[in-house]
Amino acid sequence: MFIYGVGSAGYYVYARREFWSNIAGGRHSYVVGTVSDRWPAPAPGNSVELALTFDGHAVLEHVFHLRRGGYLVYNTEEDSKTPDSYPMMAKPLAERLKHFAKGQGFEPTVRNFAEYLRQSGVEVVGLPYNKHISEIGRKIGVTSPVMLARFVNTFVVALGAALLGLDEEYVARGVGFALGKKADVIEQNKKVAAEAIKLVEKKMTNLQPRSPGVKRIFWNGNEASAYGKVVGGMRLVVYYPITPATDDAMTFERLIPFPVGKDAGELAKLERIGAMAFQAEDELAAVAIATGGAIAGARSATATSGPGFSLMAEALSMAGMMEVGIVVTLWMRAGPSTGQATRQAQQDLFFSLFIGHGEYPKIVYASGDLEEVFLDNIRVANWAERYRVPVIHLVDKNLSNTFAVMPLPDPSNVKVQTTPPVVYPQTKVAEAYPLEEVVPPRLLPGVSNAIFHLNSLEHDPEGDPEEDPVAVTQMFEKRMQKLKLIESEIPPEEKVLYFGPADARRIIVGWGSTKPAILAALEELKDVGFLYVKMLYPYPVDLVRRYLEGREALFVENNYFGQLAMITRMFAGVGPTAVALKFNGRPITTDDVVEAYRKFEAGQKTIKLESDL
Amino acid sequence: MTMQVVKRAAADYRWVKPPEWCPGCGHFGILQSIYNAFAELNLDPANVVLVSGIGCSSRLPHFVRTTSVHAIHGRAIPYALGIKLANPSLEVVVVGGDGDLMAIGGNHLLHLGRRNVDMAVILMDNSVYGLTRGQAGPTLPAGIKVKAVPKANPHGEINPLLLALTAGFTFIARGYSYDIKYTTKLIAEAIRHKGSAFVQIYSPCVTYNNVMTREWYEKKIYKLEEADPAWDPVVHDEKEVDLKIRKALDKIVERDRLPLGVFYRNELVPTFDERYESLYDPNYRKLPPALQPVEADGKSVVDFEKLVADRLL
């Protein structure tokens, strides 16, 4: 509601949601972000200027995230509560807070922590929420406690809007987005907002409504991925529910049937076209069903996270052997095992590279921000069909729960490229794997008039089992030649990107969702370059080597091993000067990158990042 | 131009390379029945996809002149399902052994049944793992010792038809591989059936199952319609469903004698196609996922701005 409201005043927003992996009604979640009049709005750091809290738990959890000069909005009705009042608060945090209060010589109440913040230079706006909401209710003729409870969100959002200098109109727009467009609901909430705004005298800024002059979209990473799938021609998306991947497939499902464009060729006469979203019984089935769909000729994908991806290993090896192109959108989360289902990590790079037994060609490609998530979905759909290999599209929890108001990307930046199926005039037996073609002809059952055998066993060109050593060697080499083809056809700018001064002596190297934080940090760090790697397999050895040679390189990663650093050494023979690693389930922030770089400059080789926002 | 109607014979479905099972293997009878059934239905071999997993039985598609997918162990059903979902006009048939379909792939069998996707699953049941030299299969009864294993089977057996009925298959039948004529009829009916069809075919393994042999089966089997000329497994009216299920169950659980034939058949249950068409996509069968153009001159056929209309500011 708040993000949309601020966005509706013409601003860009970049935010992410953090939440506990538990069942509804437990610990709270929060959203942290930045508001800007330009895009990209910078990635958030380790502290905030404005904290809008609903309860004392949130105040306590974020005591050390508020910066001097920042604003805390909180409910004074929670003043007397302590960490022990909140049964869902993490025990180690409660202990840290109590220990801190003891050291400061005060009782660990919400009031005392708010006072501590005030003394530390934070502006504290404390209001008795429920008392005010009841009063507002009386004014606008609402007295039912159930109805009043529904106003809390609007009330708190309005307090935030007031501090930013925005009026109730923008809160009402947020309400309209979050709660639906029912006019009476919006009107009522608008009145609540107007009254709430009057309660705030202070102002941290005075945002002027502006017109950004470009079309903007409000979405999150899961949604950006689903939109990319729709535009990129995915027509069978199979999934088994898993956090944080499910919303990718479910958004795709929600969008069926899709609106047809005017330039849609033979489809233009239709208003809408369909597709299939399919919930499988497990991930073994999900990947197999998607592969079956691709065999029949549909662009097919499955979206999953680590535990589900583990179950897909055998099927990916088969897709490599059988030469079927499918996309796995892998929403990485913090492992190992069930790990932290709702938390961030980049731990599955090794696994993506080496998943599946035997040796077979594949593509592993990572996206780093929402625009990339969207456009890369089109790219990977193209590649799966073009090269007929499994394509693992690496994204993560951080991206899935990034919410942005941002310029609408232009889908025509990536062409949708298809390979027409072979159609014989008369039914014939056809070779599914002719030796003279690196990528086999596109034979489709029921379409090509072809009778052909696809095989998971090593096979001859006709798809029949083959173990003759000479024939095996030929077929093996033919399959593996796809890696060279992929390397030669995909342009360098889609594999790695370099930001910053061309002659920087020191560079930061990263991949995936650390990109926005590293880019924001570059603004603060002088004379530093950023080598951003998107293509992880086949690894762009020459490009990476060219950027790394003669430079000191700090690899910044959301994992324990420094997996990109290790594969860079393995493939390119160039190692890191230092690594900065974070594996506490939280994303790498702009402040983390700056901190890591300072330590790197000071000569530290292994830097552990531990910020907790 | 007039369309020429090709009438195919069983021999037209024979692949150039000959089958390679042990001499006397029950699977030869199933292969011949498949040739016969395809010919009887006059299936276009370029429109059929025969899908299998791993095992002696899963080699069958290699011997058939239709399009085929020889996939990985236990996953024949989901691969077949993906093919059928993407292009429902294809004739998709799954073949596999009891290890492949009932053990490693058991979960997929359950879930195919409840979806009632219009395809047939043919279980080539010999109660042993032949390809890995004779371990107990999931349909081997407890207490039986087959020759390759050191002791009698400590596991109980799965009754595949009982499982299929519970899972929601709308066609359930059992055949015997050496009775090619009868097996042909059952396979043809299963393929013709509108909905998920399951056919168990007893197919003795002459090499590893020295207990459940041809003689063993032939002492036990009988045909439902021969024992009871009034036998009618078809659900003619929705009110009959419970009754027909009970009657089928009664026969499915017989152990001392083993009935063959069609146990249950219900075409009144909507197929997955029909459900999907009514709930998601009215054009699903006309323009399924595999047959849709997705771009025109490199541009997506989907109107992106309309797609995201509710998210634009």
Residue A314 domain flag? yes
Q: Could you tell me which of B54, B26, B44 has the C-alpha nearest to residue B216?
A: B26
Say what the pLDDT of residue A180 is: 82
CB A453 to CB B61 under 8 A?
yes
Same domain, A391 and A516: no
Q: Which residues of A touch B65 (CB under 8 A)?
A: 429, 451
Cβ pair B45:A451 closer than 8 A: yes
Residue A99 lies in a domain: yes
A475 and A499, same domain (yes or no): no
Residues A409 and A522 in one domain: no
Q: Show residues of chain A in contact with B77, CB under 8 Å.
A: 285
A274:B290 CB<8 A: no
Of A219, A211, A163, A161, the C-alpha closest to A175 is A161
CA angle B168/B169/B173 to nearest 5° reads: 140
Residue A209 lies in a domain: no
Query: Quick check: is A211 in a domain?
Result: no
In order of their start, the domains of chain B are 10-279 (3.40.50.970)
End-to-end Cα, chain B, rounded Å: 56
Query: Are both A181 and A300 inside the same structural domain?
Result: no
Sort out which chain A residues have CB atoms less than 8 A from B117's CB and list them. none
Q: Which two tokens stand for residue B150?
A: 């050191």
Q: Amino acid letter at A42?
A: P
- Report the amino acid identity of residue B188: A
Residues A37 and A52 in one domain: yes
Task: Report how far residue B151's alpha carbon sits from residue B144's, in angstroms, rounded to the nearest whole number.
Answer: 8
In eight-state DSSP terms, residue B169 is -
Among A383, A413, A443, identify where a domain stops: A413
For residue B101, list chain A residues with Cβ-Cβ distance below 8 A.
Answer: none
- The CA–CA distances, whole Å, from A253 to A180, A257, B147 equal 20, 9, 52
Type and span of the H or E element at A219: strand A216-220
pLDDT at B59: 97
The pLDDT of residue B18 is 93
Identify all chain B residues contacting A215, using CB atoms and an 8 Å cutoff: 305, 312-313
Distance, CA of A229 to CA of A258 (rounded, Å): 11
Q: Does A210 touch chain B (CB under 8 A)?
A: no
Residue A446 to residue B301, Cβ atoms within 8 A: no
Question: Considering only CA atoms, which of A502, A483, A596 is closest in space to residue A540?
Answer: A483
List chain A residues with CB under 8 Å of B289: 235-236, 274-276, 293, 296, 298-300
Say yes or no: A73 and A222 in one domain.
no
> Whole-angstrom Cα distance, residue A92 to residue B117?
52
Residues A405 and A321 in one domain: yes
Q: How far is A238 from chain B (nearest CA, A)?
A: 9
Distance from CA of B252 to the nearest CA of A (A): 26
Q: A–B: how many Cβ contacts below 8 A?
A: 276
Same structural domain for residues A64 and A184? yes
What order do you get walking across the sheet with A123-127 strand by strand? A48-52, A66-75, A123-127
Q: How many domains does chain A have?
A: 4
What are the structure tokens assigned to B111, written together? 């879930």
Q: Do residues A307 and A389 both lie within one domain?
A: yes
A contacts of B45 (beta carbons < 8 Å): 427, 451
- CA nearest to A8 within chain B: B313
Select the residue from A235, A260, A360 to test the B interface by mutation, using most B Cβ atoms within 10 A: A235
Residues A396, A463 share a domain: no
Looking at A449, A467, A489, the residue that finishes a domain is A489
Q: What value, to the nearest 5°, has the Cα angle with vertex A41 and ends A8 and A53?
A: 65
Which residues from chain A sit within 8 angstroms of residue B17, using beta carbons? Answer: 464
Task: Out of B280, B299, B313, name the one closest to residue A405 (CB).
Answer: B313
Print pLDDT tens along chain B (313 aa). 456 678 999 999 999 999 999 999 999 999 999 999 999 999 999 999 999 999 999 999 999 999 999 999 999 999 999 999 999 999 999 999 999 999 999 999 999 999 999 999 999 999 999 999 999 999 999 999 999 999 999 999 999 999 999 999 999 999 999 999 999 999 999 999 999 999 999 999 999 999 999 999 999 999 999 999 999 999 999 999 999 999 999 999 999 999 999 999 999 999 999 999 999 999 999 999 999 999 999 999 999 999 999 999 9
- Answer yes or no: is A446 within a domain: yes
Cβ distance of A273 and B90 shorter than 8 Å: no
From chain A residues 257-316, the ones with a CB under 8 A of any chain B CB are 257-267, 270, 273-278, 280-282, 284-286, 288-300, 314-315
Which residue stretches of chain A have pLDDT < 50?
none
A477 occurs within a structural domain: yes
Within 8 A of B51 by CB-CB distance, chain A residues are 292
| Residue A265 falls inside a structural domain | yes
**Between chains, do A293 and B86 touch, taking CB under 8 Å as contact?**
yes
Examine the domain organization and report whether A248 and A337 are in the same domain: yes
> What per-residue confidence (pLDDT) applies to A25?
52
Q: Which domain CATH number covers A504? A: 3.40.50.920
Query: What residues make up the domain containing A463?
Result: 428-489
- Statement to judge: residues A346 and A227 lie in one domain: yes
> Residues A277, B66, A321, B54: what is their CA dihedral angle, to the nearest 10 degrees?
90
Judged by a CB distance cut-off of 8 A, whether residue A190 touches chain B is: no
Which CATH number goes with the domain that contains A191? Answer: 3.40.920.10
Question: From the candidates B8, B13, B52, B75, which should be mutated to test the interface with A, based on the most A CB atoms within 10 A?
Answer: B75
pTM over 0.95: yes
B299/A261 Cβ within 8 A: yes
Contact across the interface for A285 and B111, Cβ inside 8 Å: yes
- Residues in chain A, how many? 613
Cβ B312–A408 below 8 Å, yes or no? Answer: yes
**Amino acid identity, position B252:** I
Is there a domain that residue A206 lies in?
A: no
Q: Is the preceding omega at residue A257 within 30 degrees of 0, hence cis?
A: yes
CA distances from B50 to A317, A357, A454, B13 (A): 21, 25, 10, 12
